[in-house]
Chain A
Amino acid sequence: MRAFSAIIGRELALALRGGGDVLTLVLFFIITGAIVPFAVGPDKALLASIAPGIIWIAAFLAMLLGLDRLFRPDHEDGTLILLRHAELPLPAIIAAKVIAHWLLTALPLILASPILAVLLAMDFSAFWRMVLSLLLGTPALAAFGAIGAAVTVAIRRGGLIAPILIAPLSVPVLIFGTGAISATQSNAALLFLAALSLMAVALAPFAAALAISSAED
């Protein structure tokens, strides 16, 4: 357990001390959301009705952008090889990295989401459901992202391929995520979202570990 938390701590320290990666992602999230009113026109009723979709797409894109730093720096400087020979099994290491990744990309987005809610004219109850749905859904996105990053880690120009691979897998998360905010059956959608996240977080580290160990030998 100490090794597990040490890896989380290492990831957090690396990201927080090494420049403004986290802030850049938050900025990207806000700007993506804020650019939509320019494209569809500032009609408040329309914006409020499409706000759930916009926020989920902005969050999805921001999480895709952050993917490349999940394994690539470790692959390039050789840390990944050392981690593979560590006492802690590789799936556990990847689970720790997924948790750190979620803390670094998804949590700041959720904290910044009130700004988007104001810009997109969401009402208060919709805002709370949005925060809840982001909290429940983003772990699944982080876990799927780990699979995509692990599969493409050995490819030199893999940055563009991982989003293409993950996008089809993330479709259910987006469906239930926006469903939880807007539809009348928001409780069922929230439960589905929670189930997806639990399954993804439990199984994805094993798939990612298998991909990494077969890419490296």
Chain B
Amino acid sequence: MTIQTTPKQSWWSRIAHPGQFVAWTRPLLWPLTILTVLLFVLGLWFALYNSPQDYQMGDTVRIMYVHVPTAWLSQFVYAVMAVSALGSLVWRHPMADVSMKAAAPLGAAFTALALFTGSLWGRPTWGTFWEWDGRMTSTLVLLFIYLGIIALWRAFDDQLRAARVIAVFTLVGAVNIPIIKFSVDWWSTLHQPASVFRADGPRMPFSILTPLFVMFFAFTVLFLVLHLKAMHTEVSRRRVMALERQAAQGAKS
């Protein structure tokens, strides 16, 4: 009987090696990109040509097909960051750091897009670009948190130390996510309450729901592609920095 002395590594610890992670996820990039393009073509065709006008809002209802997915992603990306922060603090997983850093600018971009499309949509329907309503205010706060985290990443020289400190702040800032989610129920000011994911089923006809869901998946897969690519870039950047440091040390001695 042979006793296995080397511990069997799980996939979880094997992808902790940045090189392994890149090698494993690189084949995913192209299929995911093609899937994104297909979903966007299908979703935009549905959204712009094959869905009805709203009986009150007319054609402006089509802004929803960009607004709702980006608003969902603005919170989803923060959730990804918060989970990565946990991974970074609890398991000190190296790829969690990279995932956290790569997600921050994407989250900020999606939040800005959601606010921008929301204000474009608000002008013709509510008659105002901006209102200090609960959900808008909390989403604006989310954007500020994203920008603060990006500023924090740029301020640190040592990225390994930065990751753990920023993970703490990311988890503190996660308090805002439930506030955004429930803001429409707590302060029923202007933004409408949840109308897709409800206990009694969606409050929309299928002709509007189908393009919304397709766009929803299109934007989510787009985030996955951009996130993976940004993580690969970050791994390469760290490798370059390490090589530069080695070169500088070699030149000194």
Are the C-beta atoms of B161 and A168 separated by less than 8 Å? no
Q: Is B176 an interface residue (CB 8 A)?
A: yes
Stretch at the interface among B12-20, B123-131, B146-154: B146-154
Q: Is A171 an interface residue (CB 8 A)?
A: yes
Chain B 140-167: CB-based contact to A (< 8 A → 1; otherwise 0): 0110110110011001100001001111
Are the C-beta atoms of A214 and B144 separated by less than 8 Å? no
Contact size range, A: 10 to 19
Q: Is A210 an interface residue (CB 8 A)?
A: yes
- Give complex CA distance A152, B156 in Å: 9
A151 in contact with B165 given A168-B141, A171-B141 (CB within 8 Å): yes
Q: Is A36 an interface residue (CB 8 A)?
A: no
Residues in A with CB closer than 8 Å to B169 are 147, 151, 165, 211
Contact size range, B: 20 to 34
Q: Is A198 an interface residue (CB 8 A)?
A: no
8 A Cβ contacts from A75-98 to B: none
Residues in A with CB closer than 8 Å to B166 are 151
A-B interface pairs (CB < 8 A), number: 60
B148: contacting residue among A155, A161, A210, A214, CB under 8 A: A161
A214 in contact with B164 given A147-B172, A167-B144, A168-B141 (CB within 8 Å): yes
Question: Closest CB-CB distance, B140 to chain A, in whole Å?
Answer: 9
From B89, B147, B156, B171, residue with most partner A Cβ within 10 Å: B156
Considering the complex, give the chain A residue whose CB is closest to the CB of B137.
A171
Are the C-beta atoms of B173 and A169 separated by less than 8 Å? yes
8 A Cβ contacts from A161-183 to B: 161, 164-165, 167-169, 171
A151 in contact with B147 given A168-B141, A214-B161 (CB within 8 Å): no
What are 8 sample pairs from A and B whose C-beta atoms fall under 8 A apart?
A151-B152, A154-B165, A165-B148, A165-B152, A171-B137, A207-B168, A207-B171, A215-B161
Chain A: residues with CB nearer than 8 A to chain B? 147, 151-152, 154-155, 157-158, 161, 164-165, 167-169, 171, 207, 210-211, 214-215
